[in-house]
Amino acid sequence: MTTKSMAVIGAGTMGRGIAQVFAQSGYEVYMHDTVPAAIESATKTIGKLLNRAVEKERITADEAAATQKRIHAVPTLSDIGRHSLIVEAVIENPEIKIGLLQAAQPMVTDGGILASNTSSISITQLAAAVERPDRFIGMHFFNPVPVMKLVEVVRGLQTSDETVKQTIEIAEEVGKTPVECNDHPGFISNRVLMPMINEAVFALQEGVAEAEAIDEIMKLGMNHPMGPLALADLIGLDVCLFILEVLHRDLGEDRYRPCPLLRKMVMAKRLGRKSKHGFYRYD
Ligand code: CAA
């Protein structure tokens, strides 16, 4: 049996989740981040989540250990090796993403796929910066990655049918449910989700209700697992603001204008769970 392998660039919340999912499905995973502390923290988090799965008797201790062993931390990008799939999951900054994608492209095997987990940057734009735009695709995972079933498979203008087909097969192989859409600002997920979050922030700003009440209404009335403000804290308020700015700029409609309170919170570095303070406190 041949060993399956892949690489993830970025060991943040999304990158570490993607690494865990592939390692649990038997892939040798090469996880790169330029910040050693990020790799260390990712390895610890994955270990904790695997231990929890052992406690809950979902996997055995041996399986947890084998999964952890399949994740290789790689501090230097050029050392990740060659793989049929490389997924980029770094900060939402086109310049940074393009730089890393260009550096990673020689490490994709012939016929392999280079994917981005971007939540809002145009796949067509990123694809235009690499040598094989036909082998480039959006593979958009959702937070928390080990729990959420969806992978939004985003087809850029030049993405080939074969690349889409293979990406769908890979997502299914690792236990996810892929759903395809075309490259357009915010794709489907964030074009629909972010206006709801933004509206909840406007309601808070206007004093329509307290944060807890807004979230409770959406949880109990709409059966959402968490309210929009708690969800914004989970995603990161800076990420929400960035996506809304993309929607506002690229779709050119006032209805996507980011709420001033959201801007203020990002300026104050109240970014949600990651800074331990957003619409709620996480002490
Ligand atoms: N990482 C891994 N697993 C996690 C986790 C995390 N950060 N947070 C929770 N879980 C797991 C728990 O371990 C638990 O698993 P077990 O059943 O094995 O114990 C399971 O999820 C349920 O967790 P809890 O019982 O603690 O809490 P819950 O039932 O309230 O679920 C939740 C938590 C899964 C986060 C749920 O509230 C939920 O689904 N929220 C909505 C999340 C969502 O909408 N995500 C998409 C965000 S948008 C995005 O990511 C993309 C973008 O482009 C912005």
Can you give the CATH number for the domain in which 253 is found? 1.10.1040.10
Q: Whose CA is nearest to atom 48 of ligand 1?
A: 142
Q: What integer pLDDT is reported at residue 243 of this predicted model? A: 97
141 and 216 in a single domain? The answer is no
Residue 281 within a domain: no
**117 a catalytic residue:** no
| Residue to mutate (ligand 1; options 147, 179, 190; most atoms within 8 A of CB) | 147
Task: Please pick, among 88, 152, 189, 248, the residue that the annotation labels catalytic.
Answer: 152
Closest residue by Cα to residue 11 from 39, 46, 47, 30: 39
| CA 275 to ligand 1 center in whole angstroms | 18
Q: 190, 198, 248, 277: which is the annotated catalytic residue? A: 190
Same domain, 167 and 215: no
Question: Is the same domain home to 100 and 206?
Answer: no
Q: Are 31 and 167 in the same domain?
A: yes
Domain boundary residue among 166, 182, 198? 182
61 in Cβ contact with 19 (< 8 Å):
no
> Does 280 reside within a domain?
no
**Residue whose CA is closest, atom 29 of ligand 1?**
225
Long-range contacts of 136-141 (CB under 8 A, 24+ apart): 136/101, 136/163, 137/113, 137/163, 137/164, 137/167, 138/183, 138/187, 139/87, 139/115, 139/167, 139/171, 140/187, 140/189, 141/14, 141/17, 141/18, 141/21, 141/89, 141/117, 141/176
Q: What is the span of the domain harbouring residue 108?
A: 5-182
Residues 169 and 201 in one domain: no
Question: How far does residue 146's CA lie from ligand 1's centre (Å)?
Answer: 8
Task: Point out the domain boundary residue: 133, 153, 182.
Answer: 182
Which of 161, 160, 162, 138 lies closest to 151, judged by CA?
A: 138
Give residues (CB < 6 A) around ligand 1: 49, 52, 56, 119, 142-144, 146-148, 189-190, 225-226, 231, 235, 239
- Residue 1 has a pLDDT of 58
Distance 18 CA to ligand 1 centre (A): 14
Cα(65)–Cα(232) distance, integer angstroms: 33
Q: Same domain, yes or no, for 40 and 143?
A: yes
**What is the pLDDT at residue 59?**
92
Residue whose Cα lies nearest atom 21 of ligand 1: it is 147
Which domain-ending residue is among 182, 212, 239?
182
**Mean pLDDT in order along the chain per 10 residues (283 residues):** 89 97 97 95 96 94 96 95 97 96 97 97 98 98 97 98 98 98 98 98 98 98 98 97 97 97 98 97 94
The rounded radius of gyration (Å) of the Cα atoms in the chain is 19
In ligand 1, the atom with minimum distance to the C-alpha of 193 is 48
- Residue 96 in domain: yes
Does 46 fall in a domain? yes
Give catalytic status of residue 152 as yes or no.
yes
Pair (178, 225) in one structural domain: no
Lookup: tokens for 33: 């981040």
Residue 24: predicted pLDDT: 96
Is there a single domain that holds both residue 176 and residue 222? Answer: no
pLDDT of residue 3: 83
Among protein residues, the one with the nearest Cα to ligand 1's atom 53 is 119
Residue 279 lies in a domain: no
Q: Are 34 and 82 contained in the same domain?
A: yes
Tell whether 178 and 195 lie within a shared domain. no
Q: Name the closest-CA residue to atom 23, ligand 1.
A: 147
Same domain, 149 and 20: yes
Number of structural domains in the chain: 2
Q: What is the pTM of this model?
A: 0.96
Q: Examine residue 283 and state whether it is found in any structural domain, yes or no.
A: no
Please report, for residues 209, 229, 260, the alpha-carbon distance to residue 206 in angstroms, rounded to integers and kept in the order given. 8, 15, 11
Burial of 253 (0-12, 13-18, 19+ CB in 10 A): exposed
Residue closest by Cα to atom 15 of ligand 1: 147
CATH number at residue 108: 3.40.50.720
Ligand 1 center from residue 282 Cα (angstroms)? 16
- Please indicate whether residue 223 is annotated as part of the active site: no
Judgement on whether residues 104 and 206 belong to the same structural domain of the protein: no
Active site residue 32: no
Element at 68 (helix H, strand E) = helix 61-69
User: Distance between CA atoms of 241 and 262, rounded to whole angstroms?
Assistant: 7
For residue 220, being part of any structural domain is answered with: yes
Q: Does residue 282 lie within any of the structural domains?
A: no
